[in-house]
Amino acid sequence: MDEWNEQLHLALLRAEARRKYQVLIDYIKQQVEPGYEYANELVRVVLSERGCYYEFVDLPEEFSGALGNGFAHRFVGSAEALALADQIHHLSQACTEHNTREFSLLAVYDRQGLFSREGTYIYHQAHRGDDDIGPLTVGCHRERTLPLFLKLKADCDLVVPIFGMSRGVLFVVANLSDQHLVVNIPQAGSGATDLAQASTSEMVH
């Protein structure tokens, strides 16, 4: 796909995402705000007692939010953040159709990674009933390199040490001064809304 076609594809995906999901995105924002805001050059996060969400600065359709107080967040140093990123990558390599219902990993290493394979790593695998997807990969994992943004959405027993249960969403936002933000949203029941409908995985194909 040449550059012009990639840009056209991106524009069409963004327009469709806005049409389908903007009302829900606006609702989640209204429920969560005002709150504490954290941002790096790639992503903006808002946390409050009512919930949390993130959105990409240049791609607001890449959005994920949770309402309620069932999430946890913490700030960690670079060594712990790197260890977590490597742990998640190693878990992805252990996923099989027998032990995984879903494992979706997105790592964006630089701002241009939103629009190119070189700065993004995506791993996706899902097995639900007769629907088998993957494993699919886009880009390359960078060993011992902390992404600007990392997101894991998973439903498998392998992630219990991370989520405290087998299903949840975790994202890491790096380079907030000398610390990195980790948000963990365990999913049990209907407490979280995850909107990755115009995800980078679609944008870079």
Q: What is the residue extent of each domain of the chain?
A: 3-63, 72-196
Entry pTM: 0.80
Backbone torsions φ then ψ of 82, nearest 5 degrees = -65, -40
Q: In percent, how much of the chain has pLDDT > 70?
A: 79
Q: Which residues pair with 46 in a beta bridge?
A: 37, 53
pLDDT at 8 over 60: no
Distance (Å, rounded) from C-alpha 147 to C-alpha 97? 27
- Measured CA to CA, the distance from residue 65 to residue 94 in angstroms comes to 28
pLDDT tens track for 22-44 = 788 888 889 998 899 999 999 99
pLDDT tens string 39-67: 999 999 999 998 999 998 887 767 888 88
> What is d(CA 79, CA 18) in angstroms, rounded to the nearest whole number?
37
Q: What is the 3-state secondary structure (H, E, C) of the chain?
A: CCHHHHHHHHHHHHHHHHHHHHHHHHHHHHHHCCCEEEECCCEEEEEECCEEEEEECCCCCCEEEEECCCCEEEEECHHHHHHHHHHHHHHHHCCCCCCEEEEEEEEECCHHHHCCCCCEEEEEEEEECCEEEEEEEEECCCCCCCCCEEEEEEEEHHHHHHHCCCEEEEEEEEEECCEEEEEEEECCCCCCECCCCCCHHHHCC
**For residues 138 and 204, is the Cβ–Cβ distance under 8 A?**
yes
Tell me the mean pLDDT in the region 168-172. 92
Residue 190 is predicted with a pLDDT of 45
